Structure 1
């Protein structure tokens, strides 16, 4: 099998998603040079950081963490667009493995009970063919050995993608709505809500307000990227 794979890669080499350099063994998605160029947040405090402060006075959360900063130009934008618009779900798996291993080692989310991906509206899911967050969230759940629960939280309104909106539109967009189909499932549970990018936090806030109709629920956030200029 390895010989067949090597023969295939000779004619169809795997390329870095950022610079198109040929990847070598043990280099998934990114070459080593581009991986080192990622704008990592390096937040050590998961309870009190720039991300958690977005939600002060809006909703109550336990912890929040994003792996890297989302910039208008550069590698982080290219990777998110590969994941979100070009069907490259391997990007989500790549970051899921990275964050899953990191969180397993630092034990920051050891107290969570389950992991939920932010859902897409059914119409957008049909158009795109996949939820870009699902494989990312599921991969994290495998590392943390926590249940991955999809489809109980649904999106009931369809809005324009936030990464394509102006900053004013993002701040004034309060129309995103979600529905939890069973308010007993997460009773007395600590839920890790997972998304790809935090912009203003409006989507995660809307999800949380619906989830908080559950008795004694705790909520934390995890995303691949965070748009720093929102603060």
Structure 2
């Protein structure tokens, strides 16, 4: 088996998701050098950081966390682009495992009942073929032993690509609508909304508003990255 694996890697080498250099056998998804260059947020608190501050006065957030800072033309942007547009779902798996390890080490999110991804509109899902946060969510859920629910929250209207919108339009986000199929199912539950990147937080706010239709539903937010330019 080792000979076959070596032969496969010789002709079909695994490349780093950032620098595209060939990975060695003890590396996965990104190389060691690129991993050390990742702009980690190093948030020490899950209740008072840039994620939770984003939603002050907008929605009540129990806890929040983002692994990386998102910088224009930076390594985080390159990796998210690889995940979102080039089908490299191993990046989502990498971040899911990484965040899961941090949460377990900090013993946070012990009372969470479900992990919920921000959904794509059905047309966008059909076009892309996958939701970029699904593998991330499944991996994180497995790490934390928490159910991953992908079909309870649905997007019922599509919007233009976020990067093509002005900041004010992204903030208002009036064209983005979501629907929670069974609000009563989440009565007295604690859910974690997950997404790839927080920019203005408008999309996550729209999702959270649906869960506020449930009685006494607590909401937390986890993402791979948060835009550093906001702070």
Alignment TM-score, normalising by the size of structure 2 = 0.96
Equivalent in the alignment of 1:226: 226
Which residue matches 2:170?
A: 170
Deviation of 1:38 after TM superposition, in Å, equals 0.4
1:6 equivalent to 2:9? Answer no
What is the CA distance between 1:169 and its match in structure 2?
2.8
Cα shift readout 1:37-76 (whole Å, capped 9, x = no counterpart): 0011001111111111111111111011000011111210
Extract unaligned runs of 5+ from structure 2: none
The answer to whether the Cα contact below 8 Å between 1:115 and 1:149 also exists between their aligned partners in 2 is yes
Q: Which residue of 2 aligns with 1:217?
A: 217
Task: Provide the C-alpha distance between the structure 2 equivalents of 1:50 and 1:79, rounded to a whole number of angstroms.
Answer: 21
| Alignment CA distance shift 1:69-1:186 (3 Å) | same
**Distance in 1 between the 2:2 and 2:115 partners?**
35
1:81-133 CA distances to partner (integer Å, 9 max, x unpaired)? Answer: 00111111111111111111221221121221111111001011011110001
Q: CA deviation at 1:228?
A: 1.8
What residue is the counterpart of 1:204 in the other structure?
A: 204
Report the CA distance between 1:25 and its aligned residue.
1.7
Does the CA contact (< 8 Å) of 1:116 and 1:194 recur in 2? yes
Q: Residue 129 of structure 1 aligns with which residue?
A: 129
What is the DSSP-based 3-state SS (H/G/I as helix, E as strand, rest coil) of the residue aligned with 1:185?
Answer: helix
In the alignment, what sits opposite 1:61? 61
Whether contact under 8 Å (2:173, 2:203) holds in the other structure is no
TM-score between both structures, scaled by the size of structure 1: 0.96
Is the CA contact (8 Å cut-off) linking 2:141 and 2:148 kept in structure 1?
A: yes
2:91 corresponding residue in structure 1: 91
Q: Give the 5 Å matches for 1:111-122.
A: 111-122=111-122
Say which SS state the counterpart of residue 82 (structure 1) adopts: helix
Distance 1:164 1:54 in 2: 21
- What's the RMSD between the two structures over aligned residues? 1.2
Question: What CA distance in whole angstroms lies between the structure 1 residues aligned with 2:163 and 2:47?
Answer: 25
SS for the counterpart of 1:41 is: coil
Q: By how many angstroms is 1:171 displaced?
A: 2.2
SS at match of 1:7: helix
Does 2:82 match 1:82?
Answer: yes
What number of residue pairs does the alignment pair up? 231
Shift of 1:174: 2.3
Contact 2:101 2:143 in 1 (8 A): yes
**Which piece of structure 1 moves more, 75-84 or 104-113?**
104-113
